[in-house]
Amino acid sequence: MSGRLSLGLTVMLVVCALALVNAQYKSRQLFIELERAQAAARQLDIEWAQLQLDQSTLGKHARIEANARRDLAMVALTPARAQYLTAGAR
């Protein structure tokens, strides 16, 4: 009787040990995946900050006006060059 009990306890001990090893392995894999996801999130945060900086730089009115003058040869509208349309006038 004690032989069967010893064998049963030994089998249960081995099964529990294997379950523990498997749980630790899965835990390590999930931790590695978490670290990779956090690194990717940090990289995306850096890229987002760079894009916001670029947007603020490219959207400044002085830069837009300078590019319009230089690249498109545009000039500011003066009252002398303005043409007004009225309804009903033909």
Enumerate the domain spans of the chain: 2-74
Helix, strand, coil content of the chain in percent (nearest 5): 80, 0, 20
Confidence (pLDDT) at 89: 62
Output the pTM of the full model: 0.57
- Report yes or no: 63 and 57 within 8 Å, Cβ to Cβ: yes
Q: What is the token pair recorded at 35?
A: 């670290």
Confidence (pLDDT) at 90: 61
Confidence (pLDDT) at 16: 97
Map tokens 């999130």 to a residue.
41
Confidence (pLDDT) at 43: 98
Task: For residue 39, give the H/E element and its range.
Answer: helix 2-58
* Residues of the chain below pLDDT 50: none
